[in-house]
Amino acid sequence: DTVKNRLIAEVHFYFNDTSSTDDMLKRVKSRFIDNNINVIIGEFGMKGDPSNENSVSERRYYAQYFVTKCREAGVMGCFCWDDGGTFSDAQSINNYAMLDRTNCQWYDQRLVDTIMSSATAHQ
């Protein structure tokens, strides 16, 4: 940081469980945010699992949890990771895909809405 107060830390996070999220955010807050270093989550994602009939709802829940906890901890912003792929629907996703790149449509508009509303809640 050669210019005072111009440092931002970036973190990538791919664990889809609340305990790991809480642990990571505790460390990020203690190390950076509490020391006046802004933080962005440069990549985070919720991996789909076609063999799990609850995969779509679990992705929504985790996205809401993750983005809300980041906002509460003072993280400046979160960026979703989408590693591509073409799927028939949201339930068939087996990676971090969110956008059907062939037609520029979200696989799960409710997932996107959940992320956006969680990021802006209580502001």
For 41-84, what is each residue's pLDDT tens digit? 999 999 999 999 999 999 999 999 999 999 999 999 999 999 99
Strand partners, 100: 105
Strand partners, 39: 9
User: What torsion do the CA atoms of 25, 78, 104, 99 make, to the nearest 10 degrees?
Assistant: -10
What local confidence, expressed as pLDDT, does residue 7 receive? 86
Q: Report pTM.
A: 0.91
d(CA 77, CA 89): 28
pLDDT above 90 (res 15): no
What local confidence, expressed as pLDDT, does residue 1 receive? 61
Mean pLDDT over each residue of the chain, to the nearest integer: 93
Sign of CA dihedral 81, 14, 85, 61: negative
Sign of CA dihedral 88, 90, 92, 96: positive
On the CB side of 42, CA atoms within 13 Å amount to: 6
